[in-house]
Amino acid sequence: MEKYIYDKSNGLWYELQGDYYIPCLKLPDEEQVEIGIWGQRHLEYIKHHRKGFYTSLVLDCKLNRHLADINKQAEEMFDTLITQYKTAEGVTEQLKADDQMEWVCKMNSMRDRINEIIYKELIYV
């Protein structure tokens, strides 16, 4: 028996596995894009909590694009919010020069609050 056969009626190749021919199926190549930390966190969330959505993205070859979009949105939201918070709370370069520990405390506080907003708005949805 041949290892591979082609069926003209349906246009599929089949591979011999033991005594049976199994269709040689594969997903089309998906565009490879850089996925940052926010995209990776969203991936972990949808893998464990939204399995149907995850499966549909994989089968439609849209997973990488979706994760890259989430990552880009999260980075833009972080940059926008950090700028707004710094202005609202009076965190300036002068504060950094005068009292570094106070500046670090305020920046860490802002970063943590913004991370929680991003998790709630983008990552865990």
Same domain, 92 and 52: yes
Distance separating alpha carbons of residues 55 and 17, to the nearest angstrom: 26
Claim: this prediction has a pTM higher than 0.85:
no
Confidence of residue 63 (pLDDT cuts 50, 70, 90): very high
Same domain, 7 and 41: no
CA distances from residue 76 to 24, 32, 81, 82 in whole angstroms, order as listed: 42, 21, 9, 10
Same domain, 26 and 86: no
Over 80: is that where the pLDDT of 29 sits?
Answer: no
Same domain, 11 and 43: no
Same domain, 108 and 62: yes
Q: What is the pLDDT of residue 32?
A: 78
Same domain, 17 and 51: no
Same domain, 2 and 21: yes
Which domain range does residue 94 map to?
Answer: 37-123
